[in-house]
Amino acid sequence: MDFVIDKLEVVDKTKNLVRMQLVPDPRVWRRTKVGDVSGYLHRLDENFIPDSVVAKMAKNLKGLPITTNPVNYPGKREYLKRSKRRLSASATKASQ
Amino acid sequence: MRPRRANSQTLLSIFNGKTIQVGVIYVDLVESTDAVSRMKPSAVRAYYTTFTNEMIQVIIDFGGYFLKPLGDAVVGFFPAFRGFVNQADNVVNCGLIMIELCKNSISPLFVRKRLPKISCRVGADFGTVEVVKLGVQSTGYFVDMVGNTMNIAAKIMKKAGANELLIGDQLSKVIHTTYRLSCSRIGSLPLPSPYAYYKVGFVL
């Protein structure tokens, strides 16, 4: 489940301590009710996650560090190197 | 040796007449008409084949399939048979690598070969497409994909500037959050209900 930061407050600047409220990303998840059960519906694949499951998940997150994966493609450098080799090989072939 | 993958025609003929979910990517050479008008025929061949072949290779390397060339553009697709989140990220990574390759691999090679530098523009989206067999018996058939997602991805590509990747609203919803946070809304297509598109603003 993807979350976005809804509210953010600095608790202790010296310790870089902040308190934040995370909500399921509204661009992906829509609040809805299925029967009597409230929860979040994925806008594309229609997976439904009831509030009780989200609450349980939040409880399990207690004490865990929050990390964010930087957007990258780890093999980029190697891939570009390989493509350069491929390109010069095909250019040589074409000019023969 | 890597096992040979089925080509897109073999894959799509299995789904002929069906609706499938795919990521669609269009990559187009920017201002190629002008550049080509001043080239010798052999240079024109090298110019197009190098670009097109390299873009096809990138699509395949990132888990996609080459659908067809379209003038000086290349169309690829990423079927989401086994979940869409990773495939959606693959579409974005593929687009970004295409731009990197044009800037840092193909252009320097072209300069060495006394050809003009190139830049590309990329448009992509995610959604459902209809698989159809087109053609007549006497000339043979081509299995193609049609529908809104195809049209939107093509329209979005036309909005992109040189070395820019733009993605549609639907794709922006299925990529990972870290990717999504790096997207900024550029505008919307004037469809019956306006359809937002985003610039992917990070460098891999």
| Minimal C-alpha gap between B3 and chain A (Å) | 19
Asked whether the beta carbons of residue B177 and residue A27 sit closer than 8 angstroms, the reply is no
Asked whether the beta carbons of residue B177 and residue A72 sit closer than 8 angstroms, the reply is no
Average pLDDT over residues A34-45: 88
Are A44 and B173 in contact by the 8 Å Cβ rule? The answer is yes
| Minimal C-alpha gap between A52 and chain B (Å) | 23
For B87, residues 6+ apart whose C-beta sits below 8 A from its C-beta are: B23, B63, B78, B79, B80
Tokens, residue A31: 């609040």
From CA B88, how far away is CA B170, in angstroms rounded?
10
Cα B2 versus chain centre, distance: 24
Cα B184 versus chain centre, distance: 20
Contacts of B113 in chain A (CB under 8 A): 91
From CA A22, how far away is CA B35, in angstroms rounded?
51
Q: What is the dihedral of CA B107, B108, B112, B117, to 10 degrees?
A: 30
Q: Which of A28, A69, A87 sits opposite B173 (nearest CB)?
A: A28
Q: Which of B101, B173, B177 sits opposite A83 (nearest CB)?
A: B101
- What residue ranges do the domains of chain B occupy? 8-200
Average pLDDT over residues A78-83: 88
Question: Higher model confidence: residue B155 or residue A85?
Answer: B155
The residue whose two tokens read 């007549």 is B136
Cα B14 versus chain centre, distance: 22
Average pLDDT over residues A44-59: 88
Q: Nearest CA to A87 among B163, B26, B102, B65?
A: B102
pLDDT at A37: 95
pLDDT at B5: 64
Q: What is the pLDDT of residues A62-76, one digit of tens each?
A: 777 766 655 566 778
Q: What is the pLDDT of residues B97-141, one digit of tens each?
A: 999 999 999 999 999 888 999 999 999 999 999 999 998 888 888
ipTM value for the complex? 0.75
Least confident of A46-55, A69-78, B12-21, B103-112: A69-78
| Minimal C-alpha gap between A54 and chain B (Å) | 17
Q: What is the pLDDT of residues B37-58, one digit of tens each?
A: 888 898 899 899 999 999 999 9
| Chains A & B: contacts with CB separation below 8 Å | 67
The highest-level CATH class for domain B8-200 is: alpha beta
Closest Cα in chain A to B183: A71
Q: Which of B101, B109, B176 sits opposite A80 (nearest CB)?
A: B101
Q: Is the pTM of this model over 0.90?
A: no
Q: What is the DSSP string of B31-89?
A: THHHHHTTS-HHHHHHHHHHHHHHHHHHHHHTT-EEEEEETTEEEEEEE-TT-SHHHHH
pLDDT at B51: 93
